[in-house]
Structure 1
Amino acid sequence: MFHLTPPLRRCSRRHFSFLGSNSTAPCPRQPSQSGKSPFPPKIRKKPRRILSICTSFFSTKPPPSLISTAPFSPPPSPPSPPPLLLLHPLPPHLPLPPLPLHLPILLFGPSNMLDDAISTFRANKSNTTQSLNALLFACILSDNHGLVPDLFRDLPARYRITPNLITYNTLLKSLCQNGSSSSAFSVFDEMSRKGVKPNLTSFTIALAGLYRDQRLDLVDRLLNLMKKHNCHPRLSVYNVRVQELCKLGRVGEAEELLKEMKPNWETYHHLILGFCGVNDLDEAKRVYGEMRRRGLVPESGCYFTLIHYLCKGGDFEFALGVCKESMGRNWVPRFSTMRRLVDGLVSISMADEAREIVAKVKEKFPSSAHLWKETE
């Protein structure tokens, strides 16, 4: 059975919050949503059916336990079938409950139905700033960045809509994801003329875009603009700078920023991955050790990537230590990485340690024990 709950839950928590909140948290770059739909192919081209599914979801407020367990087990003694698992369209004679306009417009984006989103917007006589924000963000979700500036110029005047901070941040996000980060300065100028004050999110989006487009010559200009707007860099801004510099292979410059900030685990995570990316494993190990001495714990991906590069570089003994720490936190790398580590340990006469690792993995994942037969 095709479960609708997880995709809808992801949309509601990540995408919708962008439209309804002025949070100052940075907006990390998201992978393109093009070609990825939360609906199966047969449903994808049936807007009314999508709306009926979305309506059943957003017009109901189930307890958190139902949302988190619906795909795996039924809720305790429900009075009727769970609305989140509604797979059949509503009967034609049954009127749909009221649904905020911006929700279907937004959901047309990841479904690659942008024409329907635009048609829905244009057909409505009472569009709001929120529905405009939804349409612009639907363009981002469907990877149609080129339409965003045109819609931003045309729709507010035609429908007498006043763009707000979220509208401008969405425009900035689209420009920066489309390789036009230098245009961010024009957006900031317009915001000043319209009396819309940019926030930390605005500058973080633009800053990440400048680094991605390798317009490092404009970074200082943007930082000065931040000061002009009384928007002082926080740790999240520094982490974006560290991350983007590491992606460009300028890890030394990224580490220099630590003198201006109090790094957290995310900062060290970016540096470790950066040094691994330029094949400087000694520096990656040094940063890893410094992070541990500070008592900071990264996410599992940092451990997995470091183990992978250490094995690739032949440093199996250090990789073993990182692997033990990772497994001690119940984070086990993928089989291919573990296999490479085990084979490497055997090659440097550490067969006992290799057997110990295999035994722990088999104990934790008994269903995959057969994968280790060849190694043993």
Structure 2
Amino acid sequence: MAARRWAWGPPARAFSTTAKATVPLAHLAELPASLPTSRYTVTPPVQPWPRRLTARSLPPLLPPLPTPNLPALADRHALPHPPPLPPLPSLRLFLSLPSFNSHPSVRSFNALLHSLVSARRLRLAAALFRAAPTKLYITPNLVSCNILLKGLVGIGDLDAALKVLDEMPGLGITPDVVTYTTVLSAYCGKGDIEGAQKLFDDIIASGRRPDVTMYTVLIDGYCQCGKLQDAARIMDEMEAARVQPNEVTYSVVIEACCKEGKPIEARDFMREMLGAGYVPDTALGAKVVDVLCQDGKSEEANQLWRWMEKKNVPPDNMVTSTLIYWLCRNGMVRKARKLFDELERGFKPSLLTYNSLISGLCENEELQEAGRVWDDMVERGYEPNALTYEALIKGLCKTGKPNEGATVFEEMVSRGFSPSRLLFQVLVDSLSEPRHEDTIIKILENAALRGRDFLDGNSWEIFIRKVVDTTDTSKKHLDLVLDM
């Protein structure tokens, strides 16, 4: 395998600064695949004005940017364990075995140890482990050591874990990959990447071959310390050792690139991951698209999505919603609409996706097209939510139609949705001219009728600063609102 050059851009991997990710100590399962793609056309906006923007009865919107909630990799890949018995009853039963003419075995001892470790009774577990050879006449085996190490690492007691590791040869036990991976994760968890690297080098020097999980733990440790270039170096070393990165390995580095604002590197790793046959996690794919778009690379994000499609990644509302929003925001409305139409033909868009497109169109002042999307959304049986209303109201105010925005606002309130402070401020700002006095007073009356919690102190401050003056009319309306 040819050596990689250390320079910015593919194929080399070079990074800097800080990132954190969560890595499991388990291997991956196989992942799914495939959905077809198609070609579609886009109908440009035409008259008449959509009924959404003319009808008083409004039959949902994305917040400005969907922030995917990235799931912990450890939770996704953790292997299930049977629930252990309660620790103290387990201990009593174990100690009572001789009274039944049954000698405790190392297997039953390990079951007890697992029960104590799961219940976080680490002192008792450690005491039993040390007493086993002399008091219980049981010689702990490799499984015993790994169970205890897992518990000690779980509470962050690296010193105790290292002591167990040092004692293993004296018990005639040779550490295995699981043993070393557990201790390696403890070093990384403590931020002692130098200690982790030294242990890793010692493992290789002893003639053992680290597996992909051990490499991934070390790579994650470097990512946590902000040393992404070293993390990439370890990836090159593992490939040179003919240990192929798995889904978790790629996910750790891609997430670190996203957190560090390195969109090109994140994109390149995503392509490499797809080329290796792994399907990225939904939230991770959305994150890469997001960082590319934030860096002004909407077209590259769109190309990445197309490449994901070619690799049989199923359509996903989170990824497409993120891409649609940013395409609209960057003025690429026709591409956003084309992407939406493609999704709509092969996969039912979610409310989130509809909200993304409506929000992006409103941001780009494409209210007519936003109205058409709203009509389509309602015909498919979706009910608008507060974010849907807010996006349309902001779009109307932005395009100089505050009265229409006020009408939509009234309907929003009548349907039980509470506007955000930002929306309230946008609406009040757009209606602050004297000719809109009656409209804004009506908004405040509706607000008061919704109850005490409808407007907070900051919102009332906006109202007072923007609206109330010394005229008798304003005083009259203010008294009316306060009486209500």
What interval of TM-score do these two structures reach, taking the shorter chain for normalisation? 0.5 to 0.7
AA matched with 2:257: F
Determine if the alignment matches structure 1 residue 134 to structure 2 residue 117: no
Determine if the alignment matches structure 1 residue 307 to structure 2 residue 289: yes
CA distance in 2 between partners of 1:269 and 1:31 (Å): 14
User: Which protein is bigger by CA-based radius of gyration?
Assistant: 2
AA matched with 2:278: P
Unaligned runs of 5+ in 1: 1-24, 33-37, 39-102
**Cα deviation, residue 199, structure 1:** 1.2
CA distance in 2 between partners of 1:132 and 1:252 (Å): 44
Q: 1:160 matched to which residue of 2? A: 137
Q: Aligned to 1:296, which of 273, 276, 281?
A: 276
Q: Aligned to 1:207, which of 184, 188, 213?
A: 184
Matches within 5 A, 1:1-376: 27=26, 30=74, 107-108=83-84, 113-125=86-98, 126=102, 127-145=104-122, 147-155=124-132, 157-227=134-204, 229-262=206-239, 263-266=244-247, 267-289=249-271, 295-301=275-281, 302-311=284-293, 313-328=295-310, 329-335=312-318, 337-366=319-348, 369=350, 372-374=353-355, 375=358, 376=373
Task: Judge conservation of contact 1:175–1:181 (CA < 8 Å) in 2.
Answer: yes
Q: Secondary structure at the match of 2:168?
A: helix
CA distance in 1 between partners of 2:25 and 2:204 (Å): 17
**Cα deviation, residue 169, structure 1:** 1.3
For residues 264-289 of structure 1, give each alpha carbon's deviation from its aligned partner in whole angstroms, at most 9, with x where no partner exists.
35444332222112222232234345
AA matched with 2:263: L
CA distance 1:117–1:310, change in 2 (3 Å): farther
AA matched with 2:83: L
Task: Judge conservation of contact 1:212–1:244 (CA < 8 Å) in 2.
Answer: yes
Task: Judge conservation of contact 2:215–2:234 (CA < 8 Å) in 1.
Answer: yes
Task: Judge conservation of contact 1:108–1:117 (CA < 8 Å) in 2.
Answer: no
AA matched with 1:331: P
Q: Which moved further from structure 2: 215-224 or 191-200?
A: 215-224
Q: Secondary structure at the match of 1:300?
A: coil
TM-score of the aligned structures, taking structure 1 as reference length? 0.61
CA distance in 1 between partners of 2:200 and 2:212 (Å): 14
Task: Judge conservation of contact 1:207–1:222 (CA < 8 Å) in 2.
Answer: yes
CA distance 1:287–1:123, change in 2 (3 Å): same
Q: How many residues align?
A: 274
| Bigger RCO of structures 1 and 2 (CA < 8 A, at least 6 apart) | 2
AA matched with 2:245: N
For residues 140-198 of structure 1, give each alpha carbon's deviation from its aligned partner in whole angstroms, at most 9, with x where no partner exists.
44455555323423455443222111111112222222212243332222111111111
CA distance in 2 between partners of 1:147 and 1:364 (Å): 58
CA distance in 2 between partners of 1:223 and 1:165 (Å): 20
